[in-house]
Amino acid sequence: MVKVQTFLIIGEEKLHCVSCEARVGNALKRIAGVHEVTANHQTQKIEVTFSLKETSEEVIQNRLEALGYQVKPEVSS
């Protein structure tokens, strides 16, 4: 099953530019099961499309935190 999850950056470290977006995208795409990443420095949101059979939201969140970003999953309404 494929899931799309958006993470909000809530810590002091923010995405500042297109290079930051690319750095996050490249790091997350190295995780098995991650299909697509869209990071936006203007909204401070990172949208990740991934396979629940291969990885989890927790693994992705841990990778973002390892990159220095404090994030929380956005709850869809």
Contacts of 10 (CB under 8 A, 6+ apart): 70, 71, 72
| Domains and their CATH numbers in the chain | 2-73 (3.30.70.100)
State pLDDT tens for residues 46-64.
999 999 999 999 999 999 9
The model's pTM is 0.94
State pLDDT tens for residues 21-41.
999 999 999 999 999 999 999
